[in-house]
Amino acid sequence: MFKNCIVRRPSKSMIEGITSAPELGKPDYELALKQHDAYIETLKQCGVKVKVLDAMEAYPDSCFVEDVAICTSECAVITNPGAKSRNGEIIGIKPAIEAFFQAENIHHIEFPGTLDGGDVMMVGKHFYIGISERTNKEGASQLISHLNKYGMTGEAVALSEVLHLKTALAYLENNNLLVGGEFITSPIFEKFNKIEISDDESYSCNCIWVNGKVIVPEGYPKTQAAIEERGYEVLIVDTSEYRKLDGGLSCLSLRF
């Protein structure tokens, strides 16, 4: 069960954020703020306390706070984001992490290792780590080394099509796994009860489980129905403006 979440308000500069889908247009900042408000309220409905950090105008992508830290029940790891324009975001996250974790339980990914939190999926005490354009093998190795100190384990997963591991995977606890794209046939995830997401709703692979409820992006009825069929209460949040920056529901918070 999660007790806390950390989020960061979107900056006005988000309209200049990194994107692989310029055809979707630039984000509407005022609408993004309203969607962020709704996101925070939905997290609270799941029974967590939400720490809201101020916007960082110097970093257009800084609302995607998941990428700059890994938070577990016992330790935190501040990452080294793979996109150089995001590296300074780790300075902004450090005080927030220090408010929740003792200094000896805070670790860092050091260069030449790179790691984005969007490439890290927690399944109990085991962590799957995507090797992507943002996360390299050295970064994954450092994370696994830190996790091992606390009796946790990890393994690297090669990506070929998606930006981040959690672009196409979401663990919903109870051995249930949302899976799309290249991971549907991956032998790595054979042991899970897979909920397969069709290509036309691929964005909705990025859902988040929070204390028994599952938050799903707005506009994906087949995904919503499939999750409800497994007995979960579904909460819907519109993330249209964050999708324009390759961002989804998990990207917008640290949950621990």
Task: Identify whether 107 is a catalytic site residue.
Answer: no
Q: pLDDT category, 120, cuts 50, 70, 90?
A: very high
Instruction: State the catalytic residue, choosing from 75, 205, 207, 251.
Output: 251
Q: What is the DSSP letter of 24?
A: G
What local confidence, expressed as pLDDT, does residue 172 receive?
A: 98
Residue 156 CA: distances (Å) to CA of 56, 58, 135, 139:
31, 32, 10, 10
What digits encode the pLDDT tens for the residues 56-85?
Answer: 999 999 999 999 999 999 999 999 999 999
pLDDT (mean) for 160-189: 96
pLDDT (mean) for 191-206: 98
- Short-list 198, 161, 159, CA closest to 178: 198
pLDDT (mean) for 23-32: 97
What local confidence, expressed as pLDDT, does residue 213 receive?
A: 98
Residue 77 belongs to domain with CATH number: 3.75.10.10
What local confidence, expressed as pLDDT, does residue 53 receive?
A: 98
Task: Identify whether 146 is a catalytic site residue.
Answer: no
What local confidence, expressed as pLDDT, does residue 60 receive?
A: 98
What digits encode the pLDDT tens for the residues 130-144?
Answer: 999 999 999 999 999
What local confidence, expressed as pLDDT, does residue 105 receive?
A: 98
Token readout for 115 is 């790691």
What local confidence, expressed as pLDDT, does residue 256 receive?
A: 98
What local confidence, expressed as pLDDT, does residue 88 receive?
A: 95
DSSP 40-80: HHHHHHTT-EEEEEPP-TT-TTTT-GGGGEEE-SS-EEE-B
Token readout for 162 is 């998606």
Percent of the chain whose predicted confidence (pLDDT) is above 90: 98
Domain span at residue 116?
Answer: 4-255
Q: pLDDT category, 118, cuts 50, 70, 90?
A: very high
Instruction: State the catalytic residue, choosing from 46, 164, 205, 207.
Output: 164
Q: pLDDT category, 249, cuts 50, 70, 90?
A: very high
Residue 23 CA: distances (Å) to CA of 26, 33, 147, 211:
9, 21, 39, 36
What local confidence, expressed as pLDDT, does residue 26 receive?
A: 97
What local confidence, expressed as pLDDT, does residue 150 receive?
A: 98
Beta bridge partners of 107: 77
Q: pLDDT category, 228, cuts 50, 70, 90?
A: very high
Residue 217 CA: distances (Å) to CA of 85, 117, 229, 237, 248:
27, 19, 17, 5, 8
- With contact defined as beta carbons under 8 Å apart, do 245 and 28 qualify? no
Q: How many domains does the chain have?
A: 1
What local confidence, expressed as pLDDT, does residue 32 receive?
A: 98
- With contact defined as beta carbons under 8 Å apart, do 178 and 170 qualify? yes
DSSP H or E segment with residue 130: strand 126-131
